Amino acid sequence: MTEVLTTELPHGSTSRLRRDLGETLVEVVLTVVIMAVAVTALVSALASSTASATAHRSNVVGDTVMRNYAEAVKDGAAECTPGAPLSPSFLPPEYYGIASDPAVLVCPAVDETLLVHLTVTRPRGSEDHLDIRVRTP
């Protein structure tokens, strides 16, 4: 059992010593506010890192799709004859789009190259661009 120490004050009133009073309402409220700010900062940091990881993953997948399509175009050119249609066999992942300029690819003559502008559209609408030169071996 805790013993309460008292002191005599002038005019005959008594008061408990400070160490036995516990925390005041102001101290408790201040502690709750500090804890709320700390928890808010932690949750905000977690949300920010999650959004950053998602954006980075989308960038990496978009870059991989673009490079794989460029390789498919070059592989298709290796097997075609000049003037024949060039149709790369590549299927982008779901929610990713791929386009080329010119839209209809034709194998270039042996002594020429074909400039192809590739565009990959990511799920949220951002785009990557790559220019490649295709030649027939």
Cis peptide before 82 (omega within 30 of 0): no
Q: What is the pLDDT along the chain (137 residues), one digit of tens a residue?
A: 555 555 555 565 555 555 566 788 999 999 999 999 999 999 999 999 999 999 899 999 999 999 999 999 888 888 888 888 988 888 999 999 999 999 888 888 888 889 999 999 998 888 999 999 988 87
Rounded distance, CA 110 to CA 98, Å? 27
Q: Which two tokens stand for residue 112?
A: 């020429």
- Contact at 8 Å (CB) between 105 and 86? yes
